[in-house]
Amino acid sequence: MGVRVYYYMVAAVLGFGVLLPQHGKQKKVYIALMAVLHAFVCGWRYMYLTGDLRKYAWGYYTIAESGWFSEEVFQEGRNFGFFWLQKLFSSLTNGDFQIFLIFIAIVTEIAVAVIIYRYSPTPWLSYLLWDCFGFYIFGFSAIKQALAMGLLMFAFTGIMEERPRKFFLWTVLAGCIHTPAFVFLPAYWFAKSKLSMHKLLIYIASAGLIFLFRTQIVTFVSEFYYEEASYMVNDRLGGRFIMIVALLIAGVALRGFSGKNFSKLFNLMVVAAILQMFSGFDNVFTRLTDYYFQFLVLYLPMMLYPERDERLNNGYQIRHLALSHQQRIAAIFCVVLLAVVYYYTTNLNITITNAIDDYLNYRFSWEVPVK
């Protein structure tokens, strides 16, 4: 199958997006189809497709023999929920790692489907962003964080419903799976903050102050995130920070500070921008950013379709998009083009020198002979 599978996925998102209804209860058909398709391709991938998967598989095979509170499982409380989940599945499935991958894929894609169904005014655009900005393909290798990101989508419904207990429980569960997910704990209060120019200036000033202490912050977070002393520094992600800032500027220009749902998403994007600001010093911050930036799948559609967001807001008064119909079509075309180009240049055009980590050479589990 190879890299073609990723192109087929984008083609399916766009093709079925044209053929199937995108509004009202009828959009369930499209979202259900996309959820099944994405879960199938992700869950049935060859279980040794990447180097990370090989490490996870080795731990999965050996963890069943360890005690629940042993060092191998409990890990001094760090990510213990994930290792407990591994131990449970390994014991129940006689060490079948493929079943574990299928389970994670199903949970993650259900979470994506839930937030898109409830809050996205254009499901096809949300799925396109989910695929093209790398959130989907990220889960092919980093299964621990992918599962935590899925759980935080359920936490996000607590933000939108203004149910702090629901938000807190899902966030804690995600943090037990992947400890850095606790970075999402302040999200409920960030999201509820009402937008204004004064508040925006405070955000900018805070970002500047945080940046002054960037060395101490990077050192602390990196040591907390990884047990190893060093981690890969990525100097290519400055463009991602600029892109997030550009999206924030576009949101202010097109939506102002109105729209209850959109305001919550805007605040989460601000946090994503602040975290991404540090990615040039340590790539760990890109991982942390993803916990917030994944809600781009809702932010951008709401920015472009405010009148549909108004219905989702139960009549909350918002500012309408200051673009004509033709201008909006042109803007959507540009977004689609940007997403596809971003997908190709950052996810599908990477030179892989290690054959063990060749995730671009996608294979279904049944395509690889059992040794």
Q: Say yes or no to pLDDT of 83 above 70.
A: yes
pLDDT of residue 230: 46
d(CA 240, CA 193): 25
pLDDT at 325: 76
> What mean pLDDT value characterizes the chain?
82
In this structure, is residue 190 part of a structural domain? yes
The pLDDT of residue 21: 86
Q: Looking at the structure, do residues 134 and 245 belong to the same domain, yes or no?
A: no
Query: Are both 280 and 216 inside the same structural domain?
Result: yes
327 occurs within a structural domain? no
Whether 346 is covered by a domain: the verdict is no
Question: In the prediction, which pLDDT does 233 show?
Answer: 45
- H or E element at residue 192: helix 187-192
pLDDT at 284 over 80: no
* Coil vs helix vs strand at 319: coil
Sequence-distant (≥ 6) Cβ neighbours of residue 217 within 8 angstroms: 210, 278
* 112 or 277: which leads in pLDDT: 112
pLDDT band at 41; cut points 50, 70, 90: very high
User: Pick the residue with more confidence: 131 or 259?
Assistant: 131
pLDDT at residue 261 tops 70: yes
**Of the candidate ranges 46-60, 229-243, 336-350, the one whose mean pLDDT is the lowest:** 229-243
Let me know whether 167 and 227 are in one domain: no
Within a domain: 333: no
The residue segments making up the domain with residue 25 are: 1-185+352-371
The pTM assigned to this predicted structure is 0.86
Nearest C-alpha neighbor of 123 from the set 223, 258, 25, 43:
25
Q: Is residue 343 part of a domain?
A: no
| Phi/psi-derived region of residue 77, left when phi > 0, alpha when psi is between -120 and 50, beta in every other case | left
The model's confidence at residue 280, banded by pLDDT at 50, 70 and 90, is low
Average pLDDT over residues 144-149: 95
Residues 105, 201: one domain? no
Q: How many domains does the chain have?
A: 2
**Shared domain check, 270 and 224:** yes
**Same domain (yes/no): 62, 72:** yes
Average pLDDT over residues 332-346: 86
Q: Is the pLDDT of residue 231 over 60?
A: no
Is residue 334 situated within a structural domain?
A: no
Residue 331 lies in a domain: no
Q: pLDDT: is 225 or 74 the higher one?
A: 74
- Domain identity same for 130 and 219: no
Average pLDDT score over residue span 135-145: 91
Note the pLDDT of residue 234. Answer: 44
DSSP 321: P
Amino acid 160: pLDDT: 92
Q: Residue 69: phi, psi to the nearest 5?
A: -110, 20
141 and 193: one domain? Answer: no
Min mean pLDDT across 40-54, 150-164, 183-197, 317-331 is at 317-331
pLDDT reading at 232 higher than 80: no
Higher pLDDT, 203 or 154: 154
Q: Give the separation between CA 14 and CA 19, rounded to whole angstroms.
A: 9
Same domain, 17 and 70: yes
| 121 & 235 share domain | no
Collapsed DSSP state (helix, strand, coil) of residue 364: strand
pLDDT at position 52 is 84
pLDDT above 50 for 228: no
Asked if residue 265 is part of any domain, the answer here is: yes
Say if residue 178 is in the same domain as residue 254: no
Are 204 and 305 in the same domain?
yes
Q: Which of 117-126, 239-248, 347-356 has the highest mean pLDDT?
A: 117-126
Q: Which segment of 13-27, 212-226, 240-254 scores lowest on mean pLDDT?
A: 212-226
